[in-house]
Structure 1
Amino acid sequence: MVKFSRIAILLLIDICIVNFSYIMAYLFRFDFDVNSKVFDAWFYIYAGNIFPITLACIAAFWLLGLYTSMWRYAGTEELTKIVLAAATAQLMVIACVTFLGLYMPKGIYVISFLFMVFLLGAFRMSYRFVRGLRTPGSFNSFVLRIGRKDLIGEHVTKVMVIGAGEAGASMINEIKSHHEYGKKVVVAIDDDPIKKGHRICGVKVAGGKADIRLVARKYGVDEIIIAIPSANKKAIQSIMDECKRTRCKIKILPSLIDLINEKVSISKLRDVDIEDFLGRDPVHVNLREISSYIEGKIVMVTGGGGSIGSELCRQIGRFKPRRIIAVDIYENSVFELTNELKELHPKLELEIVIASIRDKTRMDEVFRKYKPHVIFHAAAHKHVPLMENNPKEAVLNNIMGTKNMLDLAEEHAVERFVMISTDKAVNPTNVMGATKRVGEMMLQEKSSHARTTFAAVRFGNVLGSNGSVIPIFRKQIEKGGPVTVTHPDITRYFMTIPEAVELVIQTGAMAEGGEIFILDMGEPVKILDLAENVIRLSGYVPYVDIDIALTGLRPGEKLYEELLLDEEGIEKTGHNKIYVGHPLPANPVLKEMLQETDGHAVIEEEIKRVSAMTEAEVKKWLQEIVPNYSPQQSSQQ
């Protein structure tokens, strides 16, 4: 009912505008000489046909959509519609008058067109102006309140918009049009020097990126909105480095690709997450290559309930495998994964196997039953401090378990085998890294004579994985702090779990046998900076609300991680985020241990002896196999 009432009012007003425009056109055309016979003769043509002329104009307005536009959001597009509608109206009137065998002076059409454009536009834009009078913080309401107390009050959030482009303008207009959000844009920022000092949608552009902190303080900004969807990750990171020096809440528009075909609005804003501080553009994979080796295949994922393993299962499900076999020793994690995958991929055939990779007999049963074509080996003990205190367990799981998987993959003619490794395997200073390096060496040795395509993927820390620093920091913040960092200069490489897993799956398509792929992790991140950012994103001020305590390096911990051994070299692959290291000849000690006697490899007997060794003896044994393993190095750094 309200809608039809609004249209009826618009129609009535437009009828008045049309006739007023023609009357004024006649007056201007004949110099306001209304008493002359010439005026009467020509005016009679209009007056005698006022109904068809008015109907023709209203019909043109209807056809051009003047009664379907939302004039509270009127802009250049609506003004263009008005011009086209007025022009179409004149053409329809000319056609109507000609059809009736009549004629009006050409000047009447031109002058009435100008009057129509002006009056139609003025009336419709005045609607927006009147609404602006009721919008807190608008320039219109400010004009009406000169000399009076500002009615905005203390509950309005003062906003700075970074980006004075189209997205920034849309965001400012959106906030102005919706006072229910309780926000007021007080200032804008843009690095374009031409825009500095000018206004965008009534908001002053007060400076560039370098001025963010100063401008935020000057205008009392509570919230910063980054409205540059076309900017790359490095540019966004640079802006956020400035924003985090303020105490403002930070929100960001999604990237341009996420906004395609969608209007820029407050609903599209999201909170800044820790991933935004990594400064890396999103990973893209070759879907055709991946599908070629996964689609229709049986894929096994060991450690399927872990952070990497579960994400592997989620993403592999996208590529239409015949079946996924998720193997894990812990039932709770894979139980949760089962429910999630049923929702994500209802048609996916999923089998959960509770088993340990240490138990070769049990794993052989699994291989014989499911006959996997592709294996992603993610099962491992990965926590550095825990493995320093439990080196025997690391050897059993990361070496013996991996050897079992390698042997069974060869025996059962698995097509591809991809092992998840770590940057800690490079010049290792801890047990976990040394055992993972042994796993890499065994894989490369196996690849030299097996039909199965074996490859390893080496990368650093993943954000949000079980036991990683981000969840630990957040738990410490929930308890009121302090957040603990081992050393002020310690750095680590980071990736998000989904992008790491996408690249792992991509390497499976690129593998030819024996490669160690290295993922481009971007620039290393200082853990101290990471801790400060997590505190800020939680709504606190570092060292004021939440303290940061330095605890000293833990056993086996490096100040920095490496991704490549010097002798491995590095080559680019077809993917700009994936590199490959040259395969190295097996260590003679390990090669001898891998020789079989009486149907068993020597290393299997060696690992049985490990259970009787002391922790120091286990580390010494690892040094024999991995000469560049330096357990004492952690205490030196």
Structure 2
Amino acid sequence: MKPERIPSLLTRHFTSMGRRGKQLVMMAADVVSLLFAVWAAYALRLGEWFVPSQQQIWLILTAPLLALPGFITLGLYRSVVRYLGEQALWAVLKATIMAAALWAILAFMTRMTGQEGVPRAVPLLYGLIAAVLVAGSRFGARWLLWLPVRRVFGGRQVLIYGAGDAGRQLAASLRQARELFPAGFVDDDVTLQGKDMDGLRVYSPTQLPSVIDRFGIHDVIVTLPSASGARRREVVAFLEQFSLRVRILPAVSAIADGRHLVNMVREVDIGDLLGRDPVAADPALLGRCISGKVVLVTGAGGSIGSELCQQITGLGPSRLVVLEVSEHALYQIERVLRRVAPCPIVARLGSVKDAELVQQILREQRVETVYHAAAHKHVPLVEANVIEGVRNNVMGTLTLAQAAFDAGVETFVLISTDKAVRPTNVMGATKRWAELIVQDFARRAEQLGKGQRFCALRFGNVLGSSGSVIPLFREQIAQGGPVTVTHAEVTRYFMSIHEAVELVIQAGSLAGGGEIFLLDMGDPVRILDLAHNMIRLAGHAVRDDDDPDGDIEIVVTGLRPGEKLYEELLIATSNAESTRHPKIMKASEPRLEGEELAGLLARLDMAVASQDAPAARVVLMAVANRSRGNE
């Protein structure tokens, strides 16, 4: 037999024993240790090889008999050896002190000592030697038991944050999967700390540094499915200070059962740190514009559009019509919807710029509600392609709104952006023009008493959208950096895509006509801080002046053309009103009168027709500046 296999065989044999058998083995080891401790105490005190007399032999044999009841009382046989912690040292010390004191009392108060008596130093030496041997046997056994695990799972041991039902189920799943090995739990509950749950020790968060060092931990999984989003963010932020790869179990609403928890574990998304606890949706607002109605979503294959489609199908529309200019994107979203949608799905390939197509769709499908999400929204690309940006974002919105107005569509919701506020770039200016167009159709519908509702919804970045900085940072981190930030002080608003779309649907139901709704985006986030957080969440260190040996560098590249340091949600000051939904506000933004807007649209259309990008830019920005309101 190869020597290196002996620890594995011993471990396998010991772990296969029942709990009673393991306790008997530990007791036997303690008996041997205590007997040797008494003999060694005599030998050290006398300075020679000690040969006990018959009376001394009887006295030595009493040592384990006196010690074992105390060891049992103090719980030395309740702990699982593999997960023994440093707190066991205190229990061993108390037990051996008590054992040595009882033995000393017996030795000095009886005639078992023989004629030679017991030197006064012997009980003290006995206690010290016994403490070393009893503690050493346990920690030595722990090292021996962990040795095969370290060989098999070296660098792949994981801590589980949360010792509740989900955490214990995950530990069991990890043991079966054998890709990661659970080394223990971390929990804030002081009543659990120091205990063993399913054979795993529960540690306090304050013990993390020593536990990480002892087990060589590189991964931690947060399992707090029933905790609030704020609590999970607090835990993840706490773990950021350690060089760990942090992953998370989804919220309880996303877990169907516990049988496949390993597959549910995901990387910590930045949304786990930036998101808010969402306010429960109002069922009446969710269904008012959708339930039993024919709904059209433009830009259905985009990040916002696809989420809109998936949420709409769950609200009982009579039919969902999806319009998308990209063949691949339309194919993908149609596949997803046909798999989950209980209603008919009508997929149309084409652009909102195609007036005949849009009119045909609205007329033939008898559309009642329109969510207009189709737009070019990547700031640098639109800045470099002014004509196409105007044609799609402005003229496309005009074409669709005119067709909806003529077809008698009940509700028209434009998905706008915070970049439409005091725009410094073409993309933001085109979206402000789109808002003005929607406002104008709302005015015309009101004048004619048609009962149609046109509104716009303005919000900031959604996490994970195609235009968001987060996918870019994730890609740069995966490539080893550097992570590029345009300016150290640039800030942006962020919201989860699910929450944003849910609020879009509810805002449409609040519309009376002509409103620009604003979503409560929380506090703006500094992009530099976002980069730091994402690097740390990926288990890397930021390379900077404080840590020149870090893994990934952050490079400040300078603001791009048209980019702003700060984004805003309001143009005019102090003009936001609350609505019945706590996360949706209503703004009465400046408008342009119908004839004036029509004249400006004609000028813009001429610039587009002649491919005159500078002229188009001048008209765009002039109108955007005029609609700024009170500075």
**TM-score over 0.5 for the pair:** yes
Partner in structure 2 of residue 587 of structure 1: 592
Partner in structure 1 of residue 95 of structure 2: none
Contact 1:213/1:242, CA 8 A, preserved across alignment: no
Partner in structure 2 of residue 366 of structure 1: 361
One-letter amino acid matched to 1:152: W
In structure 2, distance between residues paired with 1:482 and 1:298: 48
Is residue 2:145 matched to residue 1:151? yes
Partner in structure 1 of residue 499 of structure 2: 499
Partner in structure 2 of residue 462 of structure 1: 462
Contact 1:323/1:349, CA 8 A, preserved across alignment: yes
Aligned-residue offset at 1:272: 2.0
Is residue 2:218 matched to residue 1:222? yes
Aligned-residue offset at 1:563: 1.2
In structure 2, distance between residues paired with 1:362 and 1:147: 78
Contact 1:159/1:187, CA 8 A, preserved across alignment: no
Contact 1:463/1:497, CA 8 A, preserved across alignment: yes
Is residue 2:346 matched to residue 1:351? yes
One-letter amino acid matched to 1:222: H
Aligned-residue offset at 1:504: 0.9
Aligned-residue offset at 1:446: 1.8
In structure 2, distance between residues paired with 1:237 and 1:578: 24
Gaps of 5+ in 1: 1-70, 73-128, 596-600, 631-637
User: CA offsets per residue over residues 242-273 of structure 1, 9 Å max, x none?
Assistant: 21121112233443555698699767644322
Q: 1:502 to 1:593 in 2, by over 3 A?
A: same
Q: 1:568 to 1:375 in 2, by over 3 A?
A: farther
Q: 1:152 to 1:322 in 2, by over 3 A?
A: same
Moved more, 606-615 or 212-221: 212-221
One-letter amino acid matched to 1:304: A
Partner in structure 1 of residue 39 of structure 2: none
Q: 1:332 to 1:187 in 2, by over 3 A?
A: closer
Is residue 2:244 matched to residue 1:248? yes
Is residue 2:430 matched to residue 1:424? no
Secondary structure of 2:221's counterpart equals: strand
In structure 1, distance between residues paired with 2:474 and 2:140: 48
In structure 1, distance between residues paired with 2:234 and 2:211: 17
In structure 2, distance between residues paired with 1:375 and 1:423: 21
Q: How does 1:241-280 map to 2 (within 5 A)?
A: 241-257=237-253, 269-280=265-276
Secondary structure of 2:330's counterpart equals: helix
User: CA offsets per residue over residues 466-499 of structure 1, 9 Å max, x none?
Assistant: 2422222233334333222111221111222222
Partner in structure 2 of residue 383 of structure 1: 378
Secondary structure of 1:547's counterpart equals: strand
Contact 1:434/1:626, CA 8 A, preserved across alignment: yes
2:432 alignment partner, one of 437, 444, 448:
437
Moved more, 273-282 or 256-265: 256-265
One-letter amino acid matched to 1:365: Q
In structure 1, distance between residues paired with 2:369 and 2:457: 15
1:446 alignment partner, one of 441, 452, 455:
441
Contact 1:212/1:243, CA 8 A, preserved across alignment: no
Q: 1:329 to 1:223 in 2, by over 3 A?
A: closer
Aligned length: 489
Contact 1:136/1:179, CA 8 A, preserved across alignment: no
Moved more, 170-179 or 520-529: 170-179
Secondary structure of 1:517's counterpart equals: strand
Q: How does 1:17-56 map to 2 (within 5 A)?
A: none
Q: 1:200 to 1:522 in 2, by over 3 A?
A: farther
Secondary structure of 2:512's counterpart equals: coil
Aligned-residue offset at 1:276: 0.7
In structure 1, distance between residues paired with 2:510 and 2:217: 50
Contact 1:303/1:379, CA 8 A, preserved across alignment: yes
Partner in structure 1 of residue 623 of structure 2: 625
CA-atom RMSD in angstroms? 3.7
In structure 1, distance between residues paired with 2:177 and 2:333: 43
Aligned-residue offset at 1:229: 3.5
Work out the percentage of aligned pairs sharing the same amino acid. 39
In structure 1, distance between residues paired with 2:184 and 2:602: 70
Partner in structure 2 of residue 556 of structure 1: 562
Contact 1:138/1:176, CA 8 A, preserved across alignment: no
Contact 1:253/1:269, CA 8 A, preserved across alignment: yes
In structure 2, distance between residues paired with 1:479 and 1:260: 35
User: CA offsets per residue over residues 22-55 of structure 1, 9 Å max, x none?
Assistant: xxxxxxxxxxxxxxxxxxxxxxxxxxxxxxxxxx
Secondary structure of 2:500's counterpart equals: helix
One-letter amino acid matched to 2:595: E
In structure 2, distance between residues paired with 1:182 and 1:620: 60
One-letter amino acid matched to 1:566: A
**TM-score (normalizing by structure 2):** 0.69
In structure 2, distance between residues paired with 1:176 and 1:298: 47
In structure 1, distance between residues paired with 2:622 and 2:416: 20
In structure 2, distance between residues paired with 1:328 and 1:455: 21
User: CA offsets per residue over residues 264-289 of structure 1, 9 Å max, x none?
Assistant: 97676443222212141145322333
Moved more, 368-377 or 285-294: 285-294
Contact 2:294/2:367, CA 8 A, preserved across alignment: yes
Partner in structure 1 of residue 605 of structure 2: 607
1:298 alignment partner, one of 289, 294, 298:
294
Contact 1:163/1:227, CA 8 A, preserved across alignment: yes
